[in-house]
Amino acid sequence: MQINEIIAETIVNKIFAILGKEIVLSDAGGNVLASTDLSKTHKNYSQMQQAAHSGKVMEVGQEGIGFIKEPLPMGVILPLIYSGEVVGALYVQDEPSNYNKYSSIVKTAAELLLHQTMVIDNIPYKDRIKDNFIFGLLHRKISWDDPRTYDEAELLEVGLHKDKVVSIIYAPGFWHEQFQDIASASEDERQIVLHAYKKKIFEALKEFFGETGNIQISYFGNDTFVALIDEAQNLKGAQIVALLRGKGGSLNENLLQKFDKALKRIAVAVGNFYKGKDGIALAYEEAKVALQLGMSVDENRPVYHVDDLGMIAILAGGNKRWQESFVRNLLTQLLSEKYLIETVDMFFEQNMSLTQTAKKLGIHRNTLLYRLSKVKKITGLDPRKFNDAIKIKLASLLSFMHEKEKVL
């Protein structure tokens, strides 16, 4: 196994950040792969080769340097071991009175970094680790309050400092189509196939959005992929959600073309955009509910969203923030004209009877019809239609309940 320059540079930078000393990292042959002193890069140091060959920590002093073509200044050379094999050497320039205190700790830290970087750099393992990490975040199994969460996210290149939109891509039959003929496929082989399809989904999203922020694609099992889409300077989170809801049909078609031809359908779901630590978990829960409910009631939409499912999602989800969002979307514009809310409430109290409602309100029947038409224009829901009336009534009841909770 060999250390490449990218891995070497990562280790050198992290060790330098801790010690603030000159750091050089070579392969087992003494060839420098990375250094804080760029003039040493690509040179060969026999002292580092010797330390790697011996497998022992070697102190660099003044004695014998006249016989060395490219001598290193005073310091210490630490052989680096990976899977029981010496794969390189790390040099730290310092005086013995200093490096004797920390050399064993630096060696352990460097080998840990080497192990982490080696594992993460391997695509099959990297994908699996990243999938597990994102799965844990979205299922609230990983704590945002643990500082290690951010360290791991950085190592996996998952930026947690930007708010994200969450979308689910469900490809029923995907796993069976890919692996029915290779049931004995190794985990690495499966991860390589999954990586290729993640790349296809990534490309489809890039084509759909054009220039946008970072996009992470994970596989959660059960034919389900999850996309985390960062806000961009020119495309905010709410705009990304609106684009998916309004023009997601073209994305759906593109995804279906990129997947195996045997697949009959691709289902896409998206949650609302939320800021803050639990934003992506809440958005994922929304998208999952939208997908499950939308498909269960045979809503054949290119993109599912809880707001499009209205009352069904609110009742089934039971999430207070969804309820508040539902109420806000329906009633906010009516609040400035409270007489419309009073009109609708009376209309429901009178069992949707136009005659009785007009009589109770003391207005002409045509005035009542005008008001109800205005409600439809504002909310997109017609109070005279049973299904729409239920949604408006539900929003009104939820609004009342939430206001009562604030008082209590």
The domain ranges of the chain are 5-121, 125-309, 325-407
Q: Which two tokens stand for residue 217?
A: 């694609």
Name the class of domain 5-121: alpha beta
Q: Which of 333, 335, 134, 299 is nearest to 216 (CA)?
A: 134
pLDDT at 84: 83
What residues are paired with 225 via a beta bridge?
169, 219
> In a 3-state reduction of DSSP, which class is residue 368?
helix
**What is the distance between the alpha carbons of residues 122 and 192, in angstroms, rounded to a whole number?**
11
**What is the distance between the alpha carbons of residues 308 and 296, in angstroms, rounded to a whole number?**
14
pLDDT at 218: 93
| Sign of the dihedral defined by the CA atoms of residues 59, 64, 67, 69, in that order | positive
What residues are paired with 81 via a beta bridge?
86
pLDDT at 63: 59
pLDDT at 407: 34
CB 225 within 8 A of CB 287: no
Task: Please tell me what DSSP assigns to residue 362.
Answer: T
pLDDT at 66: 53
CB 213 within 8 A of CB 162: yes
Asked whether the whole model's pTM tops 0.85, one would answer no
pLDDT at 315: 56
**What is the distance between the alpha carbons of residues 361 and 355, in angstroms, rounded to a whole number?**
10
Place of tokens 């697949």: 263
Task: Provide the CATH topology of domain 125-309.
Answer: Alpha-Beta Plaits (3.30.70)
With residue 217 as reference, give the H or E element that holds it. Answer: strand 215-219
The reply to whether 325-407 shares the fold of 5-121 is: no
Tens digits of pLDDT across the chain (408 residues)? 678 787 888 889 989 999 999 999 999 999 999 999 988 988 999 999 999 999 999 999 865 555 667 788 899 999 999 878 899 999 999 999 999 999 999 999 998 888 777 665 555 667 788 899 999 999 888 888 887 888 888 877 888 888 899 999 999 888 888 876 655 667 777 887 888 889 899 999 988 988 667 899 999 988 999 999 998 777 888 899 999 998 888 998 889 888 867 678 899 999 989 888 788 998 998 898 888 777 766 557 889 987 776 555 555 555 556 566 666 666 666 766 778 888 888 888 888 889 999 999 999 999 999 999 998 888 888 888 877 777 777 666 666 555 544 433
pLDDT at 36: 93
Query: Residue 254: phi, psi to the nearest 5?
Result: -65, -40
* CATH number attached to the domain at 325-407: 1.10.10.2840
Q: Which two tokens stand for residue 313?
A: 């999602």
